[in-house]
Amino acid sequence: MSVDLRQLANRIRLRVVEMSHRGRSSHVGSSLSMADLLAVLYGRILRIRPDAPDDPERDRLILSKGHGCAALYAVLAETGFFPVEWLATYYQNGSRLAGHATADGIPGIEVSTGSLGHGLGMACGMALAARRDGRPYRVFTLLSDGECDEGSTWESVLFAPHHGLENLVAIVDYNKIQSLGHVKDVLDLDPLAEKWAAFNWAVREIDGHDLGAIEATLREVPFTPGKPSCLIAHTVKGKGVSFMEDELLWHYRSPQNDEYRRAIEELEDQ
């Protein structure tokens, strides 16, 4: 069985827009920028089984950028971890799907996140325990560019190569926009790949919307034996909906009626 990645990514985007519209929630742009990454991870890369979400040998994915959880919930539902009907309740009173990734009884959510700069450290701990316990699983974590401002992120960046965590993969969704502006203007991260490389990670840079490139690259982890892998994925915030692309507004705004209809039409045409 082979999932059509284009279709899966598109369904994630449709779900994200629906969820954001219905729940009047923020972070639609942050969810759309990583839809292709999640489609490849859940469609091809992660060794996971929706019917056994707690399998001790499963690969782990920690969504360190927990605010992008709409896309994570969407891909989990689309790949069978829980009923797609749950998505309609996202961000609403009495729902089990909160506006940041919440592990409380949601199959497939490994840890609860939301505050930035926590995921990579927990991923380091899991990867180290896996290696010491002789477990074969790998730990993936998806970071935002904004959380590369956090000092705690860099504590973990320093830690992982020292311990040779080759079963750890950090993916940066480098969509170039953070909370109050473009990354370049708020707190420039460039040269980002060189920074991770200087900390002794094996680094690759790709177009984070090129499904073939994402898959080919992630199939090669660890990029260098004995080192943790860092994938800098150059992405576009709001990718897939023309009027949301590279617009700060869509870090916060939820699509209103006309915007919602236009976004759905665009995505259904893709």
Partner 1 sequence: MRTAFIQTLTDAAAADRRVTLVVGDLGFGVVTDFAGQFPDQFLNVGVAEQNMTSVAAGMALAGRIVFAYSIANFPTLRCLEQVRNDVCYQGADVTIVAVGGGVAYGALGATHHATEDLAVMRAMPGMNVIAPGDPLETAAATRAAAAGIGPTYLRLGRSNEPTVHAGQLPWSLGRAIRVREGRDLTLIATGGMLPTAVAAAEQLDQSGHAARVLSMHTLKPLDTQAVLLAARETGTIVTLEEHSIIGGLGGAVAETLCEAGLGNVRFQRIGLPSAFTKEVGDQEYLRRHYGLDVESVVRRVTELFEQGPRAGADIP
Question: What residues line the site for partner 1 (CB under 8 A)?
Answer: 56, 103, 110-115, 117-118, 120-130, 132-133, 135, 151-152, 155-156, 158-159
Q: How far is the CB of 146 from partner 1 (least distance, A)?
A: 16
Q: Bridge partners of 182? A: 177
Q: Which is nearer to partner 1, 159 or 174 (CB)?
A: 159
Cα(45)–Cα(57) distance, rounded to whole angstroms? 14
* Token code pair at residue 211: 């499904």
CA distances from 189 to 148, 174, 185, 204 (A): 8, 10, 10, 16
Closest CA to 143 of 201, 82, 211: 201
Quickly count: other Cβ atoms within 10 Å of residue 79's Cβ.
Answer: 19
DSSP 26-57: S-HHHHHHTHHHHHHIIIII----TT-TT-TT
Cα(174)–Cα(152) distance, rounded to whole angstroms? 18
Q: Which is nearer to partner 1, 21 or 118 (CB)?
A: 118
Quickly count: other Cβ atoms within 10 Å of residue 204's Cβ.
Answer: 18
Q: How far is the CB of 34 from partner 1 (least distance, A)?
A: 21
Helices 5-23 and 257-268, packing angle to 10 deg: 170
Q: How far is the CB of 101 from partner 1 (least distance, A)?
A: 11
Q: Which is nearer to partner 1, 30 or 113 (CB)?
A: 113
Q: How far is the CB of 62 from partner 1 (least distance, A)?
A: 8
Q: Are 159 and 80 in contact (CB under 8 A)?
A: no
Q: How far is the CB of 122 from partner 1 (least distance, A)?
A: 4
Q: Which is nearer to partner 1, 54 or 258 (CB)?
A: 54
Cα(220)–Cα(206) distance, rounded to whole angstroms? 13
Q: How far is the CB of 120 from partner 1 (least distance, A)?
A: 8
Element (H, E) at 170: strand 168-174
Q: Which is nearer to partner 1, 43 or 228 (CB)?
A: 228
Q: How far is the CB of 39 from partner 1 (least distance, A)?
A: 26
Q: Which is nearer to partner 1, 89 or 152 (CB)?
A: 152
* Residue 171 phi, psi (nearest 5): -115, 125
Q: Which is nearer to partner 1, 77 or 116 (CB)?
A: 116
